[in-house]
Structure 1
Amino acid sequence: MSKLAYQRLDDLLELLAKQTAPLPMKELAKSFSISERTVRTDIANLNDLLSNVGAAITLVRGQGYLLTVHSKEQFNDWWTESMSSADSFLTTSEERQAYLLFLLFKNESPLSLDDFLDRLFISKNTFYSYLKTARDNLLSYQLKIVNRPNIGFEILGNEFAKRQAISDLLIEKDLQEYLIGFTEMELALFDNIDLELLQKLELDYLAPLELLDSDYYHKNILSHFALALSRFLAGHEMSEFPLRVPSLKQHAQKALRHFLAELDQAFDVQLTNEEKEYFTYYLALNAPRLVETEATSHSSTETAQSIVAELLQAIKGTSNFDWIEDKMLVEDLTSHIEGFINMNLMEARRSNPLLATIKKSFPQAYDLCLTHLEILGKKHGLYFSQDEVGYIALHIAGAMERNSSSNHRKYRVILVCGTGRAMSRIIEAKINKYYQETIEVVDRLSYVELQQCDLAAVDFVITTVPLEQLSIPHIYINMAKLDKEIVKIEPFIENFKGAKSEIYSLFHKEFYLHEDSESKEQLLKKMTQQLVQKNFVPEDFHDSIMKREAINQTNINEWLAIPHPMSLSAKRSAVSVAVIPNGVDWGSGDLVKFVFLFAISKEDYEDTEEIYSLLLELMEREDIQQAILQQSDYQSFLTHIKQL
């Protein structure tokens, strides 16, 4: 915004500019936590300014205040000029603090206290408060802000640390704005170079390196290149590069060498060896697959292949997802993990800007990776951070999506026949003839054997013996009309399929709590005990839940958690629900109000994707959340959940 007398005028004008209908006085006062009298004073001050730029804030009687533009050309020119100035960063306290750092890094000579007060529109006390925050933020970079008497404030420290601080503290990596071009802050920081020319050279000369598979990391490369070139041209050369610079693969070395030579010519500079090391390092950090391993060129590839094979085998063993022969997944994962191994050789870490989104949007895929990579990392001497687990989970989520429709498992069925095994074999053969793509007969039992059988891992029963009561769905077929009766199984499967996809069947009244809890541990203990008592889960289920929580908290945002065990050990599938109106501390200060404890059997795991989708939908519906919090009975909960 423009340089108005004080920040609230900037904010008030911006708010009114976004509205097409009048805003009531009470709403304006509430928005800024000020009195109606103060609002009228602010509007009078704004009108003094706007009268010179073809606009005014008018009162629409009975409705509120509205920004009226009399001369669009005059107002738009003023608005555009104001928004394009460096002061457009100053719409919040945080942005003013960032601008203070910007001034310290950007100005070639120290700035006095009056310089800062004039540019930031703040009081002396506020400035020193901001200065303390800036000093605290720079401590981890071994940078100091000093005030030289009669000269001013400046930052002391080595150039590499300054560039790190600029990148981390000033260039906000907001995905939308950051990816589609240079941000306002970048344009201000790099105003001494032709950014379009730099980008063209990078795209032309580094095209063989295929850097465009990730917009985010490609932009990181370009941003660090711009930072290095801009600082070098401003006279801030690096005297040494303090980190170990990796060796690039030959084709990458060649491409980078040509690019840097063209950069020297295009910008009339002669980059030093230290500056070239800076370019090399940040290219390698954001595209680690270009790094050449030291021992042999195949060592990281072989390790990556082993990790991928072991990961997919572990997933198959614990969830029935079989992607071992998925060539696309294997190739993509191997390439990614090879790059991750190379980063470990650089002793570097990279952040994942999508981590929160991945956890919320693909919780099933994320959790599949988390527990297995914890074990595989220890085995291979690697540490898979949450950021890295998030990247790998994206590959797994893609495999889930590709295979969800084509690789649905067969229904597991027990065949009950009271006339002996020979007849049961005949019936099984007829079932296989008609339903080999949808049914797997896992056992053939007599009626007596059925009474003693654990049916937890079975979908339904086909029986030639009339059964009055059974804990799972079943269909009776009359052996006297066998061929005609076999056909009845098809509509039964269709109905059963609908029932199985009815995710609400995972909820049970006896596994529903609507009460406050003293602690996360007490709540999980109570929820698991209920499941144990009904023989849905084994005795050690709670221990497995807590072991999983110790690896990483299972809340997918600040108010919803999906705790679950380390392995799919449930005897029967259910989702236990706890609604905690006042919230329970889940760790890191998050007060979770909704807990969905997953007790899922290995056989049912592939079918639980819908429950994840349901919870993601709940996260978007504040009205449903509030209704569930306010009404304590199970039937109300189920009614509201079914509205999603």
Structure 2
Amino acid sequence: MPEQSKRLIQLLENEGPMSIKRASAKLQVSERSIRNYMRQANAKSTQILTDHSKIWVQERKPASLDFSRALPQNYRERSSYIIKKKIIEKEEVDLFDLSETLYVSYSTLKNDIAKMNQEFHAFQVHFRLKKDKLVIFGEERQIRKLISHVLAQETATHIIDMETLLNNYDKNLVHIIQQEIEQIVVHPALSKNDLAKMNLILHLVIISTRCQENGGCANDALALVFRTEKEKQWFGQLIDHLQTRLAITYAKEDLEQIQVLLAGNLNFRASEPSFEMDQKNIRFTSQILDLLEKRFHVDLNREEVKELFLRHLHNLNIRAQTGGFIKNPMKESIRQISPTIYEMAIVMAVEYKKYFQVLLPEDEIAFFAIHISSWIDQSNALNQKLKTLLVCPAYLNFQSDLLQTLSTRFADELYIPHVASSEQSGMDDGYDLVVSTIPLSTVSSQKVISLSPIWTPYTQQALSEKILKIKERKKGEMIRNHFFEYFQEPFFSVVRKTSKEALLHQMCARFNEKEIVASDFEKSVLEREKACSTAFGGFAIPHPLVSSARETKVSVALCPEGVLWNNDQKVYAVFLLAINEVDKRVFLNVYEPLVSLLSDEEFMTRLSAQTDFHAFSSLLIHKIK
């Protein structure tokens, strides 16, 4: 085989599937030369395959790259396709070429780009066309947020639902595991977090299925170390019930992995892992996380997932040595539902081969995809919690006991990635809250709360109040930061005598004129209003049934004389909401404190008396804490 063809094969093996254009740039030859190299390689033995978008070495072709199987059919799918193609795959996006590939008109794609600029405005990322080629402007951290949003549609919440498990595994086994977890493990991390529950169920299904297929394996006397008595109790009951009902015996490695699963999904953390980590596995994990974050522009939740993945890696290496790879019946659904996640898993498998000299089958690659999905989902979920630093001396188990208490009682509010035993300079950098059992001199008083290491009802109340205060302050900052994005003078008015219907029609028309909403916006607003009034005392916040606006905007109408809203109920201010789906989560943090402010009758009276947008906005911003 010619040397040039070998270079091309080596490139594809090292970096995975890519376009001919990218391969030509990498090898610094023409695209015609790349095609010649492919023909020369395939004349000897079929090694390189292609479709209209990518080329790949045959043994590594991901199903996700067979774009002809399911081309994007609407704006939502096309925008996701374009973003991933440009940012993740780093390909040049030419609108004329793209129109031929996707079988849509050039003008349709131009409209899509315009919509993307409106829809993704909150990410501070801008899309422009230069000589019909797409260019993206924005800071790296903002681009990462955008990609995380796009990939959220392909994460574990879509892979690991009960329907998928029931379709791919023994239904009786799945139901038994679900029942036992829900009956035995009573913990807020599972009762309030479907992702944690499904993650635990999924891995228990995989472990138990593998144990059934292997005929069971008697475990040696195993002395597991538990962080809490409650965790030990849950673990013991769960194992006893599952082994009895499923007629299996878990092996030692299974029991260790189940312990890690239980501890990880219940937010029990330890300063040291429960098993000895192999340094080679640690280095590989760090390298692969660096590579995925760099190549796919995502942020992964490193601290929370490392021990579970290292356990998976440890068992995978054993399977690789013995050739005892396990089947993954979900691989096809994962490939279909989560193509980009699966591509990330393929990159991971390529790196695994280079690092451990083992070629993984697709079943094992699909397990990588499950882990990656979980990392992305958990990373997104952490954005909703207060990043917290615990400062507590490691004395008489106070540190571990307090960490466990915080992780259990405040599972939905706090994310505690690190624990410190003493004060260090700059230790509050990047943290929303610092919980300390010792006096601190270098931490902002706004962030720190001093607690006794001995938990009492007073401690619980004090911390709850501190968390609420910090969240309110963060919401206030968010409102101030986003206020003039959502509230703008063209959508402000002061009205005199009018009716509810006429006022809503006028406010909706203003949105329509600026192409903020679709033509059926007013109809949806009226349907929502008919179903249940949106009036709150002296004000109303009408909105449509679904969040489908091109941009998030609030139209404000102040009515000093009042507008009859429902029978004899008058409102003196109307806030009509047009919410973009992307902004929905951010806007909720603006909406709740807004309702709280407007519920103050004295403030509402002052606000409705304002005569221009400047006075209205100044008063509202000043009132925000």
Q: TM-score, normalised by structure 2?
A: 0.24
**Larger relative CO (CA 8 A, sep 6+): 1 or 2?**
2
Larger Rg: 1
